[in-house]
């Protein structure tokens, strides 16, 4: 009898691969070997099995000599080489197994390449003359093939390395992707992008070394992409990098360039901004655009984001329209939107999220292609040349969106094109002039390239039709400044402070806190640093830690009203009203008529069950507030708790006549019940349920919290179920 051995599926292979990588990341080599045995056996490749056997024997010998107490100066070097080799063998075996029948495009291309192999050096050498003679379609086809070959080649040969290094070293004297002579910029940008995408699937030291090499390019477009790719790769493989000392050496060399720290700093800020993209897009879709559609007759109220076209941009940038909206709620939202755009946030994604359906985007390499008017995709339409030139100079859109914009312009009705283009160009020129008038000292070109390439990457990982086959890198934190391999260069206190401030401004308190922790080890007795560190801790729920930092800052500046307020807040949140009260009293001495301070003092007394003192402060607030209602709610509730039910009723009647919430109706119901007025009490409870969108569960949750106070006010505990059941019937 023969038994058929079932092959592992790709779904079974992936978890084993991940277990091996996790074990290696934790330096558990024996555990990794145990799982790797199964993959090696599945590969039916004796070369792999022999290599694994040799590595195990080497490791056993290393352990034997270690336990025997033998001094071996080469031990750590041997271990590092073993770790690197095991990572690489795991990748090789996994890739071989998945290439057999995985449906993913990556492996499909690899299967094709086994039948029709490509030579990287030949492709590069063929692309150049194709561009020289302006055979653009052929050159573009070769460029796409080069991209796919580089992307899916796991380990580059020495010949590949030499050819790619030579290409990356070649650039125009004044590279400009808007110029038809800038073809080497196109080629090298695509080489860099292919290396980046390939490295996200499997690690290859040579690919990373090529990115580091390209980061030293004189071509700004190529250099910036390489920097971004280098940082992403270092972030993805922090454990592996330690086993390749030549990578550290090459980064050391690159760090000698004057722009090294500055470029990384700008990239960090842009990746922080990219975290807000989804939030901005949601706000555009759910708030801004619906209001724009109501106001603008040119946009059909029944239309959706799929209908957004160049006409949308003409409306969006109309200065007269902006003036009309200046004082409206929509105008304020648009002002915030404009500030985000000026800051560098990705505010354009919403407009282009449904404009990636053109055939151009079926080719994976085109998602990373720098916009170039000399390409066959765009060279045929001279009508748009001036518009595209202005659009590129203004820098509103990333490369991917420029292609989308161009293709959508081509789809416009021919009769309306000239008028539309004339209006659009006028607005773009005006916008460009305003931007030039804004005196800025920052390096706009570098920031623009960084921002646009990160946006190109974002669109690929979020919108590419087969995006699920790629791990979304934008789910990662990308705090590059915390990577050990980068941290050693990133020691400038001002840069770190600026990054922390940026995190703080964007409400990423945990990320800011990591930097503040690091800086407090360097900077002693800095009040502002302790204040901000404490604030981050408070906002992340670490009130004990926040109090520790705030009190350190208080030792330096005991008169800070901001500090006193924050310390008091932390004590109140930590359910320590007695401690909070001491700080509020200090604030009261500085600001005796500050209603917020007085209200907090009253609340502290209320939490301490000192109702009489609480009531004194609430009366004072009501007097200073000229009966405007700031103290009505605490006055009413405190009166109820003290058994002054008639007084509580009077205040609740005032509250219910202004702008009541469902909690106000509950408390008014409690008061009527305590006064033995069951029908009014029932009516108020029912109104509370209706105010809470007829959500009986919400009502019950709040009602249950008050049951001890109801019983204390004289209500019979046995009657409470009757009231709730009556409400259940009524709320059906």
Which residue from 678, 605, 669 is spatially nearest to 642, judged by alpha carbons? 605
Residue 419 confidence (pLDDT): 66
- Rounded CA separation 641/583 (Å): 26
- Taking only the tens place, the pLDDT of each residue in 547-602 is 999 999 999 999 999 999 999 999 999 999 999 999 999 999 999 999 999 999 99
Mean pLDDT across the stretch 608-623?
94
Q: How confident is the model at residue 314 (pLDDT cuts 50, 70, 90)?
A: very low
User: CB neighbours (10 Å) of residue 334?
Assistant: 19
191-205, 405-419, 463-477 — which is least confidently predicted?
405-419
- Rounded CA separation 656/91 (Å): 69
- Rounded CA separation 10/108 (Å): 13
Residue 591 confidence (pLDDT): 93
Query: What residues does each domain of the chain span?
Result: 10-102, 119-233+251-257, 277-475, 651-732
Which residue from 726, 720, 687 is spatially nearest to 705, judged by alpha carbons? 720
- Rounded CA separation 54/81 (Å): 13
Mean pLDDT across the stretch 513-535?
88
Mean pLDDT across the stretch 159-184?
71
**pLDDT over threshold 60, residue 9:** yes
Q: How confident is the model at residue 216 (pLDDT cuts 50, 70, 90)?
A: very high
Residue 671 confidence (pLDDT): 96
Q: Which whole-number Å values give the CA distances from 151 to 146, 170, 197, 200, 721, in the listed order?
A: 8, 21, 6, 10, 68
Most trustworthy range by pLDDT among 230-244, 290-304, 432-446: 230-244
Coil, helix or strand for 576?
coil
348-352, 437-441, 445-449, 557-561 — which is least confidently predicted?
437-441
Higher pLDDT, 413 or 624: 624
Residue 309 confidence (pLDDT): 45
Its sign, for the CA torsion 520, 522, 524, 526, is: negative
Mean pLDDT across the stretch 51-64?
96
Residue 13 confidence (pLDDT): 93
Coil, helix or strand for 230?
helix
**pLDDT over threshold 70, residue 664:** yes
- State both tokens at 163: 């050819």
């Amino acid at each position: 009898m023969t038994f058929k051995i079932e092959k592992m599926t790709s779904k079974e292979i992936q978890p084993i691969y991940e277990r091996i990588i996790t074990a290696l990341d934790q330096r558990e080599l024996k555990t990794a070997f145990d799982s790797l045995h199964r993959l090696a056996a599945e590969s039916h490749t004796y070369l792999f099995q022999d290599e694994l056997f040799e590595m195990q024997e080497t490791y056993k010998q290393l352990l034997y000599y270690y336990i025997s107490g033998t001094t071996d100066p080469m031990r750590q070097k041997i271990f590092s080489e073993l770790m690197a080799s095991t990572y690489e063998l795991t990748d090789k075996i996994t890739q071989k197994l998945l290439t057999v029948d995985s449906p993913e495009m990556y492996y499909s291309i690899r299967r094709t390449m086994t039948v029709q192999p490509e030579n990287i050096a030949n492709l590069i050498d063929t692309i150049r003359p194709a561009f020289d003679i302006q055979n653009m379609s052929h050159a573009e086809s070769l460029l796409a093939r080069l991209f796919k070959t580089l992307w899916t080649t796991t380990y580059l040969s020495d010949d590949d390395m030499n050819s790619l290094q030579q290409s990356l070293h070649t650039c125009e004297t004044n590279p400009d992707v808007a110029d038809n002579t800038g073809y080497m910029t196109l080629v090298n940008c695509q080489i860099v992008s292919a290396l980046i995408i390939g490295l996200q699937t499997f690690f290859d030291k040579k690919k990373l070394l090529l990115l580091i090499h390209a980061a030293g390019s004189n071509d700004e477009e190529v250099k910036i992409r390489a920097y971004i790719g280098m940082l992403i790769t270092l972030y993805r493989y922090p454990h592996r990098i330690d086993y390749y000392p030549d990578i550290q050496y090459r980064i050391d060399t690159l760090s000698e360039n004057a722009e090294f720290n500055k470029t990384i700093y700008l990239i960090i800020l842009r990746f922080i901004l990219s975290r807000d993209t989804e939030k901005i897009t949601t706000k555009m879709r759910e708030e801004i655009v619906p209001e724009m559609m109501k106001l603008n007759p040119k946009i059909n109220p029944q239309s959706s984001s799929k209908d957004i076209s160049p006409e949308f941009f003409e409306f969006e940038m109309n200065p007269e329209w902006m003036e009309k909206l200046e004082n409206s709620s929509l105008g304020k939202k648009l002002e915030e939107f404009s500030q985000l755009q000026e800051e560098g946030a990705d505010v354009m994604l919403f407009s282009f999220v449904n404009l990636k359906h053109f055939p151009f985007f079926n080719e994976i390499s085109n998602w990373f292609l720098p916009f170039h008017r000399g390409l066959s995709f765009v060279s045929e339409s001279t009508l748009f040349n001036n518009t595209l030139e202005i659009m590129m100079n203004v820098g509103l859109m990333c490369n991917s969106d420029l292609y989308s914009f161009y293709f959508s312009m081509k789809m416009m009705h021919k009769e309306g094109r000239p008028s539309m283009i004339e209006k659009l160009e006028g607005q773009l020129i005006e916008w460009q002039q305003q931007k030039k008038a804004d005196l800025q000292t920052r390096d706009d070109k570098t920031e623009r390239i960084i921002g646009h390439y990160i946006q190109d990457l974002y669109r690929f990982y979020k919108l590419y039709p087969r995006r699920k086959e790629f791990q979304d890198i934008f789910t990662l934190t990308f705090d590059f400044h915390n990577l050990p391999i980068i941290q050693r260069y990133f020691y400038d206190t001002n840069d770190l402070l600026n990054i922390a401030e940026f995190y703080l401004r964007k409400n990423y308190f945990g990320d800011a806190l990591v930097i503040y922790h690091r800086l407090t080890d360097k900077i002693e007795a800095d009040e502002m640093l302790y204040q901000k560190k404490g604030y981050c801790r408070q906002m992340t729920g670490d009130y004990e830690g926040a109090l520790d930092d705030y009190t350190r800052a208080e030792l330096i500046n005991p008169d800070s009203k901001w500090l006193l307020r924050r310390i008091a807040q932390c004590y109140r949140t930590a359910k320590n009203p007695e401690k909070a009260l001491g700080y509020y009293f200090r604030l009261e001495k500085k600001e005796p008529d500050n209603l917020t301070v007085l209200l907090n003092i009253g609340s502290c007394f209320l939490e301490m069950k000192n109702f009489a003192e609480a009531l004194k402060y609430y009366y004072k607030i009501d007097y200073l507030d000229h009966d405007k209602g700031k103290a009505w709610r605490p006055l009413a509730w405190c009166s109820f708790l003290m058994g002054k039910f008639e007084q509580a009723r009077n205040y609740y009647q005032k509250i219910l006549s202004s702008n009541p919430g469902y909690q106000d109706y509950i408390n008014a119901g409690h008061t009527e019940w305590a006064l033995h007025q069951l029908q009014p009490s029932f009516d108020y409870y029912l109104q509370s349920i209706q105010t809470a969108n007829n959500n009986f569960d919400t009502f019950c949750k709040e009602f249950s919290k008050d049951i001890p106070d109801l019983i204390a006010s004289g209500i019979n505990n046995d009657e409470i179920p009757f009231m709730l059941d009556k409400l259940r019937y009524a709320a059906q």
